[in-house]
Amino acid sequence: MGWAIALHGGAGDIPLSLPLERREPREAALRYCLEIGVSALKANRSPLDVVELVVCELENNPHFNAGRGSVLTNKGTVEMEACIMDGNTKNCGAVSGVSTVANAISLARLVMEKTPHIYLAFDGAEAFAREQGVKMVDENHFITPENIERLKQAKEANRVQIDYTQPIQKDSPDETVLANGDSQLGTVGCVAVDSEGNLAAATSTGGLVNKMVGRIGDTPIIGSGTYANNLCAVSATGKGEAIIRATAARDVAALMEYKGLSLEEAAAYVVEKCVPKGNVGIIAVSATGEVTMPFNTTGMFRACATEDGSSEVGIWPLFVQKL
Amino acid sequence: MGGWAIAVHGGAGVDPNLPTQRQEEAKQLLTRCLHLGISALRSSLPAIDVVELVVRELETDPLFNSGRGSALTENGTVEMEASIMDGPKRRCGAVSGITTVKNPISLARLVMDKSPHSYLAFSGAEAFARKQGVELVDNEYFVTEDNKGMLKLAKEANSIVFDYRIPILDTCSGAGALDSPLQMNGLPISIYAPETVGCVVVDSEGRCAAATSTGGLMNKMMGRIGDSPLIGAGTYACDLCGVSCTGEGEAIIRATLAREVAAVMEYKGLNLQDAVDFVVKERLDEGQAGLIAVSKNGEVACGFNSNGMFRGMATEDGYMEVGIWDQN
C-alpha cells in the first residue's frame, strides 16, 4: 500500500534517433510533472486534484499534444478533448471540441461537478465554459509552428497520423510500424492513488494530426481512453480508433476484477492482445499502490513514482533506453 | 442453439400512467420493427445491415425519442446521436450533435465505413453528411408538438429544483402530467422517460451487431452527449454478443454497461442471460437502465431495473415477444 502516480506524454513511433533538442525538453517536463504530482500526493491532495493539476501542467507545455501544442485538424484548427474520472464514485466528466479554453481537463472537471451531465462538446462546451468564467484564450494560443509543419507534411502525404507514423488502415489486424523520423507527440494523461486507495485518472489531447473537423477519439470516452474504479485508474494513448474498439481502459479493470489478473498482467494483456501493435500505451495504478506502464509502440513518454521511493522517467522500453 | 435472433427496444423507464392508446402504438411499432428485421434476416442480410434498417425505421417513426420525435434541448432544438458496431472485427461508427440528418444511424454507419475515424460530431459530422450526400432536412422536421409540450413541462419541473441532484419528492403543481412520483434522471418519469431506441441482431452466420439512436435527455444542455453514441456504454458488439442500452445515460456511462455484458461473458464465462442479469443487478448502482442483447449462439435476452422497458424479441425457432412491463 502507499501512494503511486504515473503520467504520460503520448505513445507512438518515437524514433530512437530522436534528436537531443526534441528529447530533453520533454524529459524535463515529465520529470517536473512527476515532482509536482508527488509533492501534491505527499501534501495529501486528493488523487482527483493531483491528476487534474498534472494534466494541466502537461496541457500548458507546448511539447505535448494537449492544450498548447495540440495537433491540428485538417482545417488547421485546434479541437481539444479531455476526460477525468474519480475511482470511488465513478463520477466522470468529459469535453470535446474545445478551442478557446486554456485547460480542457479543468473544464471536464467542471462538467462533472457543476452539471447534471457527464459530457459536453463543441459549442455547448464552450458556452458552459464562458458561463463558468473559465479562462478563455484565443485559439492561436494553442497553435505551435511545429504543428503547422506537421499538418503540412500530413497533407502532403495525405494521411491522418498519430503524429509520426505511416498511414494506418483501420481494419488491419496487425499493423507494422514504420519510422519516418517525423515529430513525436501524443496524448497526455495521469493516474494516481493515495495511501487510502482512492484512485483517479485524467487524459487530455488535441487528437490526430489532420483529423476531420468534429472527430472524437478515445480520450473523452469513458472506458476507452480513461477509466477509474475502486480497483485501478487507467489512461491510454495511441490510435484512438483502435483504443475505442478495444475499450482499453475498462478492460484493464475488467481483467483484474473478473479474471483476477494483477494490475501488471491486466495492462500487459490489453496492450499485447487487445490492440494491434503500434497503436497503444497505457499507464495504470492500482488501489494497493502498484504502477505499470506498458506500450506496444516504439516508445511512450512516461514517468512514474511510488511511495516506497522508486521512480522512472523514460521514452523507450527500459532495455532499449540509452541513458 | 444457433440461428438468427433479434431484439429491439424503445427505451427503459416507462411512465406507469402511460395511456393505453400509447402503449398499443408502442407495441405495434415494436412488432412492425421485429417483422422488418426478421424479413431481412430471412433474406440473409448480414446483422450489421439489419440493425441499421430497423433503427432507421424507429428513427423515422415519431413515437420514440430518436430521429423524428427526438427529445428537445433546453433551446427547443434537436441534437441527435447514434452509434453502430459490427461484432466480427469490432468496427464501429458514432455521431453526436446531429441536427439535419434524417437518419443519424445511417450517418454513424457511414462514419464507420467511409471515414478514417470512429466518431464524428456537430458541425464536422454535418459537413461529412453533406459530402456523403445523405438525406438532409430542417431541424424543425424532428420537432413534434408532443415534445414541445414536454419541454415546457420539463422547464417547469426543473425550475422548482434548486439542486438537480435532489429528486423532487412531491408532485409538482401546475402540470397535470406530473402525478407520478416515479422518477428518471431525478425528475418526473412522465417527462424524462428516455425512449432511446436500439436493435441487436445475430444472423445465421453467428455475426452480432448492435445499434442505438436517440435525441437524448429532455431539456438537456446544448452540446450534452449521453451514452448512446459511446462505444462500450450504450452500444457494443464483438464476436460473442451485441448489446444496446437505454436509461439514465450518466449511469450507463459510468457502468460502461454494454461492454460489461460482453466482458463478463468473455472473462467470467457467463452465458448471455446470466451476464445480462448480473450487469443489471450489480453494475447500475443507483441508476435506472435496461438493455437488450443477443449472443452468437442465437440467444436473445433483455434486462432492466427501471419501471418497464419497451422491447421486442424474436428467434429463428419461432419465439416472439413484445412487452413493456416487468418480465415474467
Whether the CB of A274 is below 8 Å from some CB of chain B: the reply is no
Q: What ipTM does the predicted assembly reach?
A: 0.91
Distance of CA A192 to the CA centre of its chain: 13
Hey, what's the cell of B129? 453528411
Q: Contact B232/A250, CB-based, under 8 Å?
A: yes
- The CA distance from A177 to B160, in Å, is 58
Residue A77 sits in which domain range? 4-166+183-320
Q: Does the beta-carbon distance from B123 to A214 stay under 8 Å?
A: yes
Q: Which amino acid is at A110?
A: L
Residue A175 located in a structural domain: no
Q: What is the pLDDT of residue A22?
A: 87
How is residue B223 annotated by DSSP? Answer: T
The rounded radius of gyration (Å) of the Cα atoms in chain A is 18
Q: Do A214 and B220 touch (CB under 8 A)?
A: no
In a domain, A71, yes or no: yes
Residue B20 appears among annotated catalytic residues? no
Count: domains in chain A: 1
CA geometry: angle A84, A250, A318, nearest 5 deg: 85
Which long-range contacts does A153-162 make (Cβ < 8 Å, 24+ apart)? A153/A182, A154/A209, A154/A210, A155/A74, A155/A210, A159/A210, A160/A208, A160/A209, A160/A210, A160/A211, A160/B116, A160/B117, A161/A208, A161/A209, A161/A210, A162/A10, A162/A12, A162/A13, A162/A186, A162/A208, A162/A209, A162/A238, A162/A239
In a domain, A178, yes or no: no
In a domain, A296, yes or no: yes
Could you tell me the domains of chain B? 5-140+192-315 (3.60.20.30)
In a domain, A171, yes or no: no
| Residue B66 near residue B211 (C-beta atoms within 8 A) | no
CA-wise closest residue to B200 among B262, B243, B236, B234: B243
Between B210 and A168, whose confidence is greater? B210
What integer best gives the mean pLDDT of chain B?
92
- pLDDT over 90 percentage in chain B: 86
Contact A244 B124 (CB under 8 A): no
Q: A6 CA to chain B: closest CA distance, Å?
A: 23
Chain B contact present for A224, CB below 8 A: yes
Q: pLDDT tens, A224-276?
A: 999 999 999 999 999 999 999 999 999 999 999 999 999 999 999 999 999 99
How far apart are the C-alpha atoms of B80 and B87, rounded to whole Å? 24
At residue B150, the 3 state secondary structure works out as: helix
Contacts 24+ apart (CB under 8 A), A90-93: A90/A228, A90/A229, A90/B254, A90/B255, A90/B285, A91/B254, A92/A118, A92/A222, A92/A226, A92/B253, A92/B254, A93/A118, A93/A119
Is the pLDDT confidence value at B213 over 60?
yes
Interchain CB contact of A123 with B (< 8 Å): yes
Q: Which residues of B touch A72 (CB under 8 A)?
A: none
| Closest CB to A250 among B118, B164, B256 | B256
Strand partners, A285: A233, A291
Place of cell 509502440: A297
Q: Residue A3 half-sphere exposure, CB side, CA atoms within 13 Å?
A: 21
A105 within a domain of the structure (yes/no): yes
Instruction: Please classify residue B35 by burial: count the beta carbons closer than 10 Å to its beta carbon, then call 0-12 exposed, 13-18 middle and 19+ buried.
Output: middle
- pLDDT, tens digit, 9 for 90 and up, residues A5-27: 999 999 998 988 889 988 999 99
- Among A73, A187, A203, A306, the active-site one is A187
Instruction: Say whether A127 and B256 touch across the interface (CB within 8 A).
Output: no
- What is the residue whose three cell numbers read 459510468? B254
**Known binding-site positions of A for substrate:** 215-218, 237-240
How much is the pLDDT for A165? 38
Catalytic residue (choose from B73, B196, B214, B235): B196
A201 chain-B contacts, CB cut-off 8 A:
none
Distance from the Cα of B53 to chain A's closest Cα (Å) equals 22
Does the pTM surpass 0.80? The reply is: yes
Tell me the residues of chain A between 278 and 307 that have a Cβ less than 8 Å away from chain B.
none
- Read off the C-alpha cell for A228: 477509474
Report which residue type is found at B60: T
Question: What is the CATH number for A114?
Answer: 3.60.20.30
Decide if A47 is inside a domain.
yes
Q: Is residue A31 part of a domain?
A: yes
Contact B124, A212 (CB under 8 A): yes
pLDDT tens profile B310-322: 999 999 999 999 9
Q: Which of B127, B236, B268 lies nearest to residue A213, judging by beta carbons?
A: B127
